[in-house]
């Protein structure tokens, strides 16, 4: 059974760096085809794709946020970490991590974490 869970600070100050961890079970990021992505959703607004990392360490991120985002994986710990620099109040959102559906084109996400709400405020 695949599960994912996000963790990190619930409150960050403007200009600070956010570090979120996605701890998962039921799959390995060393298996061919596996990928884990991050998606966020501001309160009452739409989903926004942030980044995705694959089993072979290939990674892609939203071009609008690319300079602020870093995604890494720790295969031995079954974790994916997302770092976002220079946080601003507009970055207040629920942040989700999700598992990429295997053997599917276009990187759909079939399993999602419960999400973690991050508020940016001084």
- Using CB under 8 A, list all residues that contact other proteins: 37, 39, 45-49, 52, 60-64, 96, 101, 104-110, 112-115
Positive/negative CA dihedral, 7, 43, 17, 57: positive
Give the nearer residue to other proteins in terms of CB position, either 106 or 122. 106
Q: How far is the CB of 1 from other proteins (least distance, A)?
A: 14
Closest CA to 78 of 30, 115, 116, 44: 30
Q: How far is the CB of 48 from other proteins (least distance, A)?
A: 6
Give the nearer residue to other proteins in terms of CB position, either 16 or 65. 65
Q: Is 60 exposed, middle or buried (0-12, 13-18, 19+ CB in 10 A)?
A: middle
């Amino acid at each position: 059974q695949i599960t994912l869970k996000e963790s990190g600070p619930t409150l960050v100050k403007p200009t600070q760096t956010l570090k979120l961890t996605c701890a998962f079970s039921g799959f390995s990021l060393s298996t061919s085809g596996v990928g884990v992505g991050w998606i966020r959703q501001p309160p009452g607004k739409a989903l926004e794709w942030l980044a995705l990392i694959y089993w072979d360490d290939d990674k892609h991120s939203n071009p609008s946020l690319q300079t602020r985002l870093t995604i890494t994986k720790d295969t031995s710990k079954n974790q994916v970490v997302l770092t976002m620099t220079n946080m601003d109040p507009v970055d207040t959102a629920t942040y989700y991590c999700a598992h990429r559906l295997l053997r599917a084109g276009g990187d759909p996400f079939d399993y999602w974490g419960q999400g973690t709400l991050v508020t940016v405020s001084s």
